[in-house]
Amino acid sequence: MYTAHFGLRELPFGITPDTSFFFGSPHSQEALNTLLVAARTGEGFIKITGEVGTGKTLLCRKFMATLGPEFVTAYIPNPYLEPRTLMLALADELEVGYDKDADQHAVLKAITHRLLDLAAADKRVLLCLDEAQAMPVETLEALRLLTNLETEKRKLLQIVLFGQPELNRKLELQSIRQLAQRITFHYHLGPLSRDDLDYYVAHRLRVAGYDGARLFSRAAVARLYAASGGVPRLVNILAHKAMMLCYGQGRQQVARAHVSAAARDTLATSRRRLWPRAALLAVLAGAAAGLAWALSH
């Protein structure tokens, strides 16, 4: 790999959510602040949405790592589960003992006892659910019932939903309107701006150990933004490929051509280019058909 060539300790543009690479852009920092304020005020439901690749999972992990010792956290990365299975997953996260044949009521009772014990120890319990848009409606309703557990002072369990915008449409369903009404803090995580992307690239390189002059030329960064739309996951994929190409040529600075070649090799960015062109062709075809009809009449 190119780490030695560029003087790096590690690869700077991996797609695994590593909190040491968390970049406090205006969007991500505001989202993190929203989460921390909501958690500390004891809200029952908190919601974070964002398109694919905008950094929701990394934000989730950074959030959990930032919470103080007064919090006990549970994390479920794939909540496409029936209600009982979700309860079992939560019980496992909270180290709750239960019989393997226990029904949902028995598991919920065991979880409640655990939550009461933690509350007596002055601990707050917070459950983070990633990819929440995939949750079945009946499981979302079971989550709402979990937030009914409370003492006279506060909720026994707080829940944070991280999901794609489809989660918003699911929460509009009449059958779970009570859950939607309980979400008092929410934030939508957007892509990086052009300027933020430049800082983002420099930040990840610095964390990975780079201490040289500008590694990505300004033209390369402009091309990176155009190809990725500021979506962090796409930025990482393209930057990694561009650095490999640069290394293969024995060069010391990533140029626009390297990023362009990386974009041509990446399906997601190809789709970004094809959609506007397809839309334009459809408009032109429609206009041509309309003109032909007008001339024939």
Q: What is the pLDDT of residues 23-67, one digit of tens each?
A: 999 999 999 999 999 999 887 799 999 999 999 999 999 999 999
> What's the confidence (pLDDT) of residue 269?
65
Question: At 93, phi and psi to the nearest 5?
Answer: -65, -35
276 domain-assigned: no
**Dist. CA 134–CA 88, nearest whole Å:** 18
Residues 135, 105 within the same domain = yes
Residues 172, 232 within the same domain = no
> What is the secondary structure of 47-109 as a DSSP string?
EEEE-TTSSHHHHHHHHHHHS-TTEEEEEES-----HHHHHHHHHHHTT----TT--HHHHHH
Percent of the chain whose pLDDT exceeds 90: 74
**Dist. CA 255–CA 169, nearest whole Å:** 42
Residue 210 has pLDDT above 80, yes or no: yes
Residues 171, 95 within the same domain = yes
Q: In this structure, are residues 115 and 95 in contact, taking their beta carbons and an 8 Å threshold?
A: no
pLDDT band at 16; cut points 50, 70, 90: very high
Tokens in use for 269?
Answer: 């960015």
Residues 36, 181 within the same domain = yes
Residues 198, 147 within the same domain = no
Residues 200, 108 within the same domain = no
Task: Look at residues 171, 189, 207 and tell me which one is the last residue of a structural domain.
Answer: 189
Percent of the chain whose pLDDT exceeds 70: 90
- Domain membership of residue 64 as a residue range: 26-189
287 domain-assigned: no
**Dist. CA 112–CA 96, nearest whole Å:** 10
Tens of pLDDT, residue by residue over 230-287, are 999 999 999 999 999 999 999 999 999 999 999 999 876 654 443 344 433 343 344 3
**Dist. CA 266–CA 101, nearest whole Å:** 47
> What's the confidence (pLDDT) of residue 153?
74
Helices in 229-266 by DSSP H: which ranges?
232-248, 256-264
Q: In this structure, are residues 148 and 185 in contact, taking their beta carbons and an 8 Å threshold?
A: no
Question: At 76, phi and psi to the nearest 5?
Answer: -120, 110
> Can you name the residues that pair with 48 across neighbouring β-strands?
162, 187
**Dist. CA 36–CA 260, nearest whole Å:** 39
> What's the confidence (pLDDT) of residue 150?
79
289 domain-assigned: no
Task: Look at residues 136, 154, 189 and tell me which one is the last residue of a structural domain.
Answer: 189
Q: Which residue has the tokens 């909501």?
A: 38
Amino acid sitting at position 213? A
Residues 168, 256 within the same domain = no
**Dist. CA 270–CA 103, nearest whole Å:** 49
**Dist. CA 178–CA 175, nearest whole Å:** 8
Q: In this structure, are residues 43 and 185 in contact, taking their beta carbons and an 8 Å threshold?
A: yes
Tens of pLDDT, residue by residue over 186-207, are 999 999 999 999 999 999 999 9
Residues 58, 121 within the same domain = yes
Q: In this structure, are residues 233 and 15 in contact, taking their beta carbons and an 8 Å threshold?
A: yes
Q: Any idea of the CA torsion for 259, 260, 263, 264, to the nearest 10 degrees?
A: -140
Q: What is the CA radius of gyration of the chain?
A: 24
What's the mean pLDDT when you consider all of the chain? 88
Tens of pLDDT, residue by residue over 138-154, are 999 888 888 888 777 78
- How far, in Å, are 47, 81, 180, 290 from residue 174 at the CA level? 18, 21, 10, 42
**Dist. CA 199–CA 52, nearest whole Å:** 21
Give the chain's domain count: 2
Stated pTM of the model: 0.86
Residues 197, 238 within the same domain = yes
